[in-house]
């Protein structure tokens, strides 16, 4: 069965992408190329890879949600064992934020670009070009 990626505008102004891991990654990498920020490197680290399962993504979410130092370790513990098992996986930075839901072969990503200079342009491009290579 051939699945088709869906890209549409989210209710609160972001982009919603539905598809497999490759679809989600391709959209994210195309957005990262358009954003001029140091935050994009940590976002790329957070993105799911073929080898990642739900537990791997929970660990990545906990790691990226926590700060450095002792308080960061407490935050990481809270995210890893309390927040991520019952909530969506998420990433937040000054440049962009994302929320990811996963099931066996389906990924649903909500992506919000915080770059006011480029957010509308990026959104329009994604909505027009559902199949990104």
The rounded distance, in Å, linking the Cα atoms of 54 and 89 is: 9
Look up tokens 């991520």; give the residue.
84
φ, ψ of residue 29 to 5 degrees: the values are -65, -35
Q: What does the alpha-carbon distance between residue 70 and residue 103 come to, in Å, rounded to a whole number?
A: 33
Q: What is the DSSP letter of 98?
A: E
Nearest CA-CA partner of 10 in 104, 106, 118, 127:
127
Q: Give, for all 133 residues of the chain, the pLDDT tens digit.
A: 445 788 888 777 788 989 888 888 888 888 888 887 777 888 888 888 888 887 888 888 877 776 557 566 777 776 666 666 656 787 888 888 888 887 777 888 898 888 777 788 888 888 887 654 4
Looking at the DSSP bridge assignments, the partners of residue 15 are: 9, 111
Q: What is the pLDDT of residue 1?
A: 41
The two tokens of residue 104 are 């066996």
pTM over 0.95: no
Q: Measured between alpha carbons, how far is 6 from 57 in angstroms, rounded to an integer?
A: 22
């Amino acid at each position: 069965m051939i699945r088709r990626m869906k890209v549409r505008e989210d209710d609160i102004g972001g982009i919603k992408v539905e598809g497999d891991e490759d679809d989600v990654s391709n959209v994210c990498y195309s957005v990262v190329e358009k954003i001029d920020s140091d935050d994009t490197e940590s976002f790329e680290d957070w993105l799911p890879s073929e080898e990642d399962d739900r537990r791997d993504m929970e660990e990545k979410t906990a790691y990226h949600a926590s700060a450095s130092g002792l308080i960061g370790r407490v935050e990481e513990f809270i995210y890893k064992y309390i927040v991520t098992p019952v909530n969506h996986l998420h990433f937040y930075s000054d440049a962009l934020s994302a929320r990811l839901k996963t099931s066996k072969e389906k990924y649903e990503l909500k992506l919000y670009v915080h770059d006011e200079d480029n957010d509308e342009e990026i959104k329009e491009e994604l909505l027009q070009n559902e199949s990104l290579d």
